[in-house]
């Protein structure tokens, strides 16, 4: 009996050529995608996009800016930010993962002349940038380190003799010409500062509330839409098709149900975040509802489109798993996108997760105005419309066969 059951299941997979191909081709594809996503989180392939601000206008700041722009581990935005407020806006809007603001020259011993500005939700980006800056200074601006250390020693000892001053100047000139060595004392030059009014924990909760919400919207919509295949095979769609509205009522009904179901799921996720983590979710109810509606509708449209194109439940299960996992990984639902290689970040803009996460984070943390959310709302609404139209068209086409 065991062998018979094994044979029945094997034959059902073998006879369904589409399910057979998907079952054995998609797993290695998913592995390659996830390997590319998560291999970059170790730090080796993380290339932060940063903004540089220069209030010093000194030779030191110019040399540091040039060294950072020539360093292949960072992506520096074009131009130089003229004031701190502009840099904060770039960081909070997500255009820059972190910012480097040069406030003074290295001879300022009262405070660190270099400030790394970072959003509390991306504290890792700030730590990475601070480390990269220290590495660049230790490699390309060694004379600055020695001069700063010499100034400290001079203040402690009461001054240098004429001979010592002459030898120090000669050493600095030698180092500036590329003569090497002064140790790793760049840390005294750099400090990290958070921007925004909240704490890191709140920023992280704000991010993952939206990220997990979109992940579960896709999972539940894919599972719910799969009933379309079961009803097609059971002949239910054929019986409904004799009515005046045809199969459209079935698709519209499922789309409406999946959208409402998704809105309830998102509401429960945010309720849990508010109760257990004190996340403020009532400050912008209109914007939050608008994003939740279009996010739920986009997941419902995508799920129905997948179900309409698949010919069997096995195919739908494999394709839906692939779509949900890959979209969630590339879109930032599993790991923040700034930790991915740049080419994967670019691909992530083609997933609904990216737009939903950006919209929710903009509402809950950045306090974006409604007009600033229009790109995300438009993209998610467009995906919902395209998915719904595709599922309607394919369902009608299958009925005509």
- For the entire predicted model, the pTM comes to 0.79
* 222: nearest Cα among 141, 159, 302, 285: 302
Both tokens of 214, joined, read 């979109």
Mean pLDDT of 155-164: 53
* 264: nearest Cα among 282, 286, 289: 289
Tokens 């722009």 appear where? 69
Mean pLDDT of 224-249: 78
Residues 296, 380: Cα–Cα separation, whole Å? 9
With a cut of 50, say whether residue 157 has pLDDT above it: no
User: In the structure, what pLDDT confidence band is assigned to residue 252 with cuts at 50, 70 and 90?
Assistant: very high
Q: Is the Cα dihedral 234, 236, 239, 244 positive or negative?
A: negative
The more confidently predicted of residues 383 and 27 is 383
* 122: nearest Cα among 356, 366, 295, 299: 366
Q: Give the sheet arrangement for strand 74-76, strand by strand.
A: 74-76, 48-54, 98-102, 114-118, 190-194
Query: In whole numbers, what is the pLDDT of the chain averaged over residues?
Result: 82
159: left (phi over 0), alpha (psi -120 to 50) or beta: left
Residues 142, 12: Cα–Cα separation, whole Å? 69
Over the stretch 34-61, which tens digit does the pLDDT of each residue have?
Answer: 777 766 555 556 788 999 988 877 888 8
User: In the structure, what pLDDT confidence band is assigned to residue 9 with cuts at 50, 70 and 90?
Assistant: confident
With a cut of 60, say whether residue 164 has pLDDT above it: no
CA-based radius of gyration for the chain: 28
With a cut of 80, say whether residue 18 has pLDDT above it: no
The more confidently predicted of residues 198 and 54 is 54
Mean pLDDT of 176-183: 49
With a cut of 90, say whether residue 2 has pLDDT above it: no
User: In the structure, what pLDDT confidence band is assigned to residue 156 with cuts at 50, 70 and 90?
Assistant: very low
pLDDT of residue 148: 62
Tokens 């170790």 appear where? 42
The top-scoring range by mean pLDDT among 5-9, 319-323, 337-341, 354-358 is 354-358
With a cut of 70, say whether residue 195 has pLDDT above it: yes
With a cut of 70, say whether residue 76 has pLDDT above it: yes
With a cut of 70, say whether residue 103 has pLDDT above it: yes
Q: Are 91 and 171 in contact (CB under 8 A)?
A: no
With a cut of 80, say whether residue 213 has pLDDT above it: yes
User: In the structure, what pLDDT confidence band is assigned to residue 181 with cuts at 50, 70 and 90?
Assistant: very low
pLDDT of residue 249: 86
What are the structural domains of the chain? 17-39+199-400 (no CATH), 47-194 (3.40.190.10)
User: In the structure, what pLDDT confidence band is assigned to residue 185 with cuts at 50, 70 and 90?
Assistant: very low
Would you tell me how many other CB atoms lie within 10 Å of the CB of residue 200? 15
Mean pLDDT of 76-92: 87
With a cut of 70, say whether residue 230 has pLDDT above it: yes
């Amino acid at each position: 009996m065991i062998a018979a059951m094994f044979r029945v299941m094997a034959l059902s997979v073998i006879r369904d050529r589409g399910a057979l191909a998907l079952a054995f081709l998609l797993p290695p594809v998913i592995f390659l995608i996830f390997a590319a996503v998560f291999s970059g989180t170790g730090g080796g392939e993380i290339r932060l996009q940063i903004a540089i601000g220069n209030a010093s206008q000194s030779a030191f700041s110019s040399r540091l800016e040039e060294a950072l722009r020539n360093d292949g581990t960072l992506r520096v935005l074009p131009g130089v930010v003229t004031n701190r407020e502009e840099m904060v806006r770039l960081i909070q809007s997500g255009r820059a993962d972190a910012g480097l603001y040069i406030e003074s020259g290295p001879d300022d011993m009262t405070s660190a002349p270099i400030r790394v500005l970072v959003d509390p939700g991306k504290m890792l980006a700030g730590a990475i940038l601070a480390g990269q800056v220290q590495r660049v200074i230790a490699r390309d601006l060694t004379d600055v380190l020695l001069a700063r250390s010499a100034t400290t020693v001079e203040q402690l000892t009461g001054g240098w003799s004429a001979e010592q001053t002459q030898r120090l100047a000669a050493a600095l000139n030698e180092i500036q010409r590329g003569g090497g060595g002064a140790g790793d004392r760049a840390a005294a030059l750099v400090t990290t500062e958070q921007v925004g009014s909240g704490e890191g924990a709140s920023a992280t909760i704000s991010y993952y509330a939206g990220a997990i919400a979109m992940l579960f919207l896709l999972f539940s919509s894919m599972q719910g839409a799969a009933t379309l295949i079961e009803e097609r095979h059971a002949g239910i769609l054929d019986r409904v098709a004799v009515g005046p509205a045809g199969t459209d009522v079935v698709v519209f009904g499922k789309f409406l149900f999946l959208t409402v179901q998704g809105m309830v799921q998102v509401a429960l996720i945010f309720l849990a975040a508010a109760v257990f983590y004190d996340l403020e979710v009532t400050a912008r109810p209109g914007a939050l509802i608008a994003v939740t509606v279009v996010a739920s509708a986009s997941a419902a449209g995508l799920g129905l489109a997948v179900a309409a194109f698949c010919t069997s439940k096995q195919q739908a299960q494999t394709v839906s798993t692939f779509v949900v996992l890959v979209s969630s990984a590339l879109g930032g639902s599993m790991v923040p996108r700034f930790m991915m290689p740049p080419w994967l970040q670019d691909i992530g803009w083609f997933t609904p997760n990216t737009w939903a996460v950006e919209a929710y984070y903009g509402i809950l943390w950045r306090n974006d105005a409604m007009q600033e959310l229009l790109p995300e709302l438009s993209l998610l609404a467009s995906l919902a419309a395209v998915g719904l139209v595709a599922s309607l068209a394919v369902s009608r086409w299958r009925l005509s066969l």
